[in-house]
Structure 1
Amino acid sequence: MTRVLVLHSVSLLRSALAALLTKEGAFDVSACGWGTAARLSQTLRPDVCVVDLDCPGATALLEGDTEGAVSTGTTDITGTTGPTGPILTPRMALLVLASAGRPGALRRAFEARALGYVDKNGSTHRLVRAIRKVAEGERFIDESLAFGFLEAARMPLTQRELSVLSRAAEGESIAEIARGLHLSNGTVRNYMASATRKVGARNRIDAIRISQGAGWV
């Protein structure tokens, strides 16, 4: 039987998803939040890890150290740890629940070598099929996410612009961003202006809003 670990920060949602998968797919399903994820992943050794890309904490998981991950989509993100060690263990296939309107999140999942991509607005049948596919080492991508992937490939911002916007989104001032990134205040302002122009925003706040909505930040 395929062992599935559902990770989500909201208890009610992860419990509902686990119950649904147990009923529809006859999987051996466990569900938890980020606090106990490392312990469970090490103990249960699930075949598939299901993560909602819009869930708080998913970004940190996907931005872990993917060095050593293999081309099949299984991961060894040893840089992303919980209280007791790595969350994503070797040979665990990563499947993400995604939205086409957040290409940045799709891009991060791809860079983390996720093997399955399921539209959150899709059917339970699609999710069950996707889990079975990725458990066998096969890639699964919902057709409805194709446009999101195209947008992800055309990501308009440079890594430095993303860094500046991300820090601004956390409430840092120009001076604080400059100190943190070892740049001059003028250079930070230039990056901010460039990012604002590229995403078609009116100002810094609008640029942050647009970038967060797309999942870039």
Structure 2
Amino acid sequence: MTKVLVLHSVGLLRSALTALLRSEESFDVAASGWCTAQQHVESLRPDVCVVDLDCPGTATMLEGGPAGGGAALGRHIGLLVLASAARPGALRKAFEARALGYVDKDASAGRLVRAIRKVAEGERFVDESLAFGFLEASRMPLTARELSVLARAAEGESIAEIARGLHLSNGTVRNYMASATRKVGARNRIDAIRITQGAGWV
């Protein structure tokens, strides 16, 4: 019996995924939101965690790798993500978190079931339709510092607040912002935030 944990912040989608996977007799399926994810991981010790990359909270969980964020997955759990090629930044974060499975959100239910079985066996599964997204992910133009400046700007911080938070001068923050804006082909800071958020970088 393969133990599967579905992590999603949206109750309706979480319930739908859980019901779908429970139709497979070989799966023992549980579900959780982010606030109780760690407790479920520790008590259930699932073989596979299924995570939607577009789900709020996913980025935080992935930032520290397999043991990162509130979920604290641990290396013994296979991470499988539901993804879109249009969000290469999210794919890159999942790859850096050592996710084994990558299923296109437009794929069939059968593909998801097959992917879970592969990941449970410790094998990698990647939908071919996500190949372009991975290619774009390898071309990420921004530095880690430029990303951190944009991420703080996206949260509504002013130049001065970003400078204090990152221990930089106001001028240096403006330079990073201008560089990031130019690299992503944006018209201004707001447009740069929109582009990077849309791609899943921020």
TM-score category of the 2 structures, normalised to the smaller one: over 0.9
Q: Report sequence identity in percent.
A: 79
Equivalent residue in structure 1 for 2:80, among 81, 90, 95 = 95
| 2:65 corresponds to 1:80 | no
> 1:119-153, CA deviations, whole angstroms, 9 ceiling, x for partnerless residues?
00111011000000000000000000000000000
State the AA in 2 paired with 1:80: G
- Partner-residue secondary structure (3-state), 1:172: coil
Deviation, 1:24, is 4.2
Aligned to 2:51: 51
2:15 maps to what in 1? 15
Post-superposition offset of 1:90:
3.8
SS, match of residue 194 in structure 2: helix
Scaled by the length of structure 2, the TM-score of the pair is 0.97
SS, match of residue 186 in structure 2: coil
Shift of 1:89: 3.1
Once the two structures are superposed, what CA deviation does each residue of 1:150-182 show, in whole Å capped at 9, x if it has no partner? Answer: 000000100000000000000000011111111
Paired with 1:42 and 1:18, the residues of 2 have a C-alpha distance of: 19
The answer for the alignment partner of 1:136 in structure 2 is: 121
**Offset of 1:87 from its aligned partner?**
3.1
Checking the alignment, whether the CA contact within 8 Å between 1:4 and 1:46 is kept in structure 2 is yes
Instruction: Classify 1:101/1:110 alpha carbon distance in 2 versus 1 (closer, same or farther; 3 Å).
Output: same
Which consecutive residues of structure 1, in runs of 5 or more, have no partner in the other structure? 67-74
CA distance in 2, matches of 1:90, 1:107: 18
Is 1:4 equivalent to 2:31 in the alignment?
no
**SS at the partner of 1:175?**
helix
In structure 2, stretches of 5+ residues that fail to align are none
Give 2:133's match in structure 1, choosing from 128, 148, 151. Answer: 148
Aligned residue pairs: how many? 202
1:188 counterpart residue number: 173
Distance 1:89 1:59 in 2: 16
Letter matched to residue 59 of structure 2: T
Q: How does the TM-score come out when normalised to structure 1?
A: 0.91
Q: CA deviation at 1:26?
A: 3.8
Give every structure 1 segment of 4 or more consecutive aligned residues whose post-TM-superposition deviation is greater than 4 Å: none
Q: Is 1:208 matched up with 2:193?
A: yes
